[in-house]
A and B are shown apart, each in its own frame.
Chain A
Amino acid sequence: NAGVTQTPKFQVLKTGQSMTLQCAQDMNHEYMSWYRQDPGMGLRLIHYSVGAGITDQGEVPNGYNVSRSTTEDFPLRLLSAAPSQTSVYFCASSYSVFEGSYNSPLHFGNGTRLTVT
């Protein structure tokens, strides 16, 4: 029973490097999202998707790209890493989010701890 799987668990990058954080879910969830968590800041939404082929920006999208080619996968790309992107990243998913039917809690992955030096 995998749920939401994030890889890698830890990553260290140098400023300017690029990388992709992977997120996969096996629950056939339509809604997927990426959050970053920083001390004292809570969880902040980066990008989200309500279905394959559909993505939208959250609260802090700058410096990140996403795509949703399949229902299962929602990778987060850092094109040119900066020290300000040092954080713990969480992927989360849930069932259909259409008006009137969204009534299920988010399921979170175990997070990726990213350090940018």
Chain B
Amino acid sequence: EDKVVQSPLSLVVHEGDTVTLNCSYEVTNFRSLLWYKQEKKAPTFLFMLTSSGIEKKSGRLSSILDKKELSSILNITATQTGDSAIYLCALVPQGGSEKLVFGKGTKLTVNP
């Protein structure tokens, strides 16, 4: 039973489109939710979300956490081919356990 579910699993868009990636989770008590971008090698950190309703923004990327809906979204506006990657969501649990739980990721392909 997956605790972190990402949707869609894959997405193909054209340059300039805006995309919204979803991350839903079952755990109600957690420290933070992380977003990573993975191109060909190591995942690279995008955002850490700890408070509901506060948007984090970096250039064309933004993310927000909704603890009431047990979900987070990652938005990318004016997509570019360089945004093509797997986007991973991870939950940092409470209670001293350091077993981060990752979703399966969303594979985004941006075509020129």
Contacts and interface: CB of A to CB of B under 8 A. Distances in A.
A99 B42 contact: no
Given A58-B99, A99-B96, A105 B104 contact: no
A103 B98 contact: no
B43 interface: yes
A111 interface: yes
Nearest to A100: B31
A108 B42 contact: yes
A97 B44 CA distance: 20
Contacts of A45: 99-100
B98 A111 contact: no
Interface stretch (A14-22, A35-43, A65-73): A35-43
Interface string A10-36: 000000000000000000000101010
A40 B104 contact: yes
B44 to A, nearest CB: 8
Interface in B95-112: 95-96, 98-100, 102-105
B42 A48 contact: no
A48 B43 CA distance: 18
Which of B32, B34, B41: most chain A Cβ within 10 A?
B41
Given A42-B102, A43-B88, A105-B48, 14 more contacts: A31-B98, A33-B98, A35-B102, A42-B103, A43-B43, A48-B98, A90-B43, A102-B92, A103-B48, A105-B34, A105-B36, A105-B45, A106-B100, A108-B43
Q: What 10 A-B pairs have minimum CB-CB distances, sorted nearest first?
A: A108-B42, A42-B104, A43-B102, A105-B45, A110-B41, A42-B102, A97-B98, A110-B42, A108-B43, A99-B96
Interface of B: 9, 31-32, 34, 36, 41-45, 48, 50, 88, 90, 92, 95-96, 98-100, 102-105
